[in-house]
Amino acid sequence: MRSVFDQYDQWENRLTHALACSLSRDERLLRRFVRWATGAKISGPLSIVEQGIPDTAVDESEEPRTSLPDAWISDRDGWCLIIESKVMAPLTAGQLRRHFATARRQGFSQVEMLALTARPCEAPVMEGLRHRKWREAYVWLRGEMSGSLWAKLLVEYMEAFERRAVEEGHLVEGSITSFAGIGFNDDQPYSYREAKRLLGTALNELRSRPDMVALGINPNHLGRSAITGSRISSVWNFLALRDPRIKDTFTRLPHLTLSIHADEVLAMVTVPNGLEPRLRRNLSALTLEQLKAVLHDVCAGLIGAIGSGDASPRLHLLQRHYKSQRSPGTVDGRLDVDLRTLGGQRGRVKAQPEWIEAFHRIIVQRRSNLQIAVGTVFQMGCPELRGHHALDHFAGSWIACKPLLDVVLREP
């Protein structure tokens, strides 16, 4: 069913229309929005118009001189807030200056401007201009949902807008919403499109975290160029590590994978089958005791990062073959081990170090396509996935795997 907010063909205009409609229907929300955007507390009546001038019919003969912003909030005493929204298009100083000039010609003595953007960009330095991201507005609106039906409707629309914009290729860079946790359940069953949106918002924020940059990621690498697979109950993408000597870092370097399934979420360091040969030798040269020591350190770090019994430190080993380049892999063998089986940890998981012995023997005597993954498996519904702090647990899981990364990436 088409949303009541979808009144424009241009994607740029749909989001602003939804915002303007919601604010015009809820005077309290409108006032709170102005205060959030500018810090101003306007006492008199406020009005909002969309792609127009307050109390004025646009004269077509003045069209070359008249610059119409996306939305215009004003009071009766000469104050106004001009809103310019950008989703895919760039933000330009020339357009903002024309908006300012239009407001001055209309007799407004106090002119403030708000630029709302989805893409990461720098706003021009201009008097009275404030630059906020659409995802910041989303976070603010989520905080207003309990007191405003229109805030709730707008939040739901922004989530649906982003899902469609990403799926149809209208939003390649940046985001409209912000990550707020993962919580599929009986009331909100798993949806591929929603999982894909959550994955995108999570990785967008993780790429800019200082602890991820310190771990060695390339914040400019956007991961998979095309995410497909709507018929399966999982979606995944990755953060790439930086190595200027290696061109295809995805297939030849370890990467940090985040995968959302219907019943679990995985934050793993993946060592691909096509790992650079010199790096593969670093791993296969480990003795059994050296490997156990590395994985013991990883396990201790993971336990410190995850916290609850609904998440577990895991080691995955996967052997696959492919019928063609585009076909999904056929699994020939799988080893899935809780790292606590190494022993030395308190809890209900019993020691069985032979699992790691089998893992060591396979990687040393490798004769097939093998992919290794180490990290955390979070069961859907566990506390660590609720809210924005889930990002801390994902980042903590990858950081805990640094002893393994140090071994694999070690220079001879």
Quote the pLDDT of residue 66: 60
- 129 Cβ contact list (under 8 Å, min separation 6): 96, 112, 113, 114, 115, 123
Quote the pLDDT of residue 312: 94
Quote the pLDDT of residue 40: 86
d(CA 173, CA 177): 13
H-helix or E-strand spanning residue 117: strand 110-117
CB-CB contact of 381 with 183 (8 Å): yes
d(CA 63, CA 60): 5
Judged against a pLDDT cut of 80, whether residue 325 lies above it is answered with no
pLDDT band at 56 (very low <50, low <70, confident <90, very high): low
H-helix or E-strand spanning residue 50: strand 47-50
Q: Which domains does the chain have, with CATH numbers?
A: 11-136 (3.40.1350), 202-408 (3.30.930)
Judged against a pLDDT cut of 50, whether residue 60 lies above it is answered with no
Quote the pLDDT of residue 273: 92
Q: For residue 314, give Cα distances in angstroms to 197, 337, 358, 408.
A: 26, 6, 15, 18
Looking at residue 385, the DSSP 8-state letter turns out to be G
Q: What is the mean pLDDT of the chain?
A: 88
With vertex at residue 71, the alpha carbon angle to CA 36 and CA 28, rounded to the nearest 5 degrees, is: 45
Q: What is the pLDDT of residues 264-300, one digit of tens each?
A: 999 999 999 999 999 999 999 999 999 999 999 999 9
d(CA 194, CA 102): 41
Quote the pLDDT of residue 63: 47
Higher pLDDT, 163 or 25: 25
Q: For residue 349, give Cα distances in angstroms to 212, 266, 352, 373.
A: 30, 20, 9, 20
DSSP codes, 278-338:
HHHHHHHT--HHHHHHHHHHHHHHHHHHH-STTEEEEEEEEEEE-SSSSSPPEEEEEEEEE
Instruction: Please compute the mean of the pLDDT values over residues 306-314 and round it to a whole number.
Output: 85
SS3 call for 271: strand
Token readout for 132 is 């906020």
pLDDT band at 231 (very low <50, low <70, confident <90, very high): low
Quote the pLDDT of residue 348: 86
Higher pLDDT, 242 or 344: 242
Instruction: Please compute the mean of the pLDDT values over residues 201-214 and round it to a whole number.
Output: 93
pLDDT band at 262 (very low <50, low <70, confident <90, very high): very high
Judged against a pLDDT cut of 80, whether residue 244 lies above it is answered with no
Residue 144: exposed, middle, or buried by beta-carbon count in 10 A (0-12, 13-18, 19+)? buried
d(CA 12, CA 222): 23
Judged against a pLDDT cut of 90, whether residue 306 lies above it is answered with no
Q: For residue 207, which of 251, 167, 169, 241 has the smallest C-alpha distance?
A: 241
DSSP codes, 176-220:
SS---B----SSS---HHHHHHHHHHHHHHHHT-HHHHHHTB-TT
Token readout for 397 is 């899981």
d(CA 366, CA 310): 33
Q: For residue 235, give Cα distances in angstroms to 132, 232, 266, 326, 376.
A: 30, 8, 10, 16, 16
Q: Minimum mean pLDDT among 72-76, 249-253, 354-358: which range?
A: 249-253
Quote the pLDDT of residue 224: 82
d(CA 58, CA 68): 9
| pLDDT > 90 in the chain, percent | 58
Higher pLDDT, 396 or 309: 396
Cα of 73 vs its chain's centroid, Å: 31
Judged against a pLDDT cut of 90, whether residue 248 lies above it is answered with no
Judged against a pLDDT cut of 70, whether residue 376 lies above it is answered with yes
Q: What is the pLDDT of residues 26-47, one digit of tens each?
A: 999 999 999 999 998 888 899 9
Q: What is the pLDDT of residues 94-141, one digit of tens each?
A: 999 999 999 999 999 999 999 999 877 777 778 889 999 998 999 999
Token readout for 54 is 């307050």
pTM equals: 0.80
pLDDT band at 344 (very low <50, low <70, confident <90, very high): confident
Cα of 108 vs its chain's centroid, Å: 39
pLDDT band at 175 (very low <50, low <70, confident <90, very high): confident
Quote the pLDDT of residue 42: 86
d(CA 285, CA 301): 23
- 299 Cβ contact list (under 8 Å, min separation 6): 313, 339, 340, 342, 345
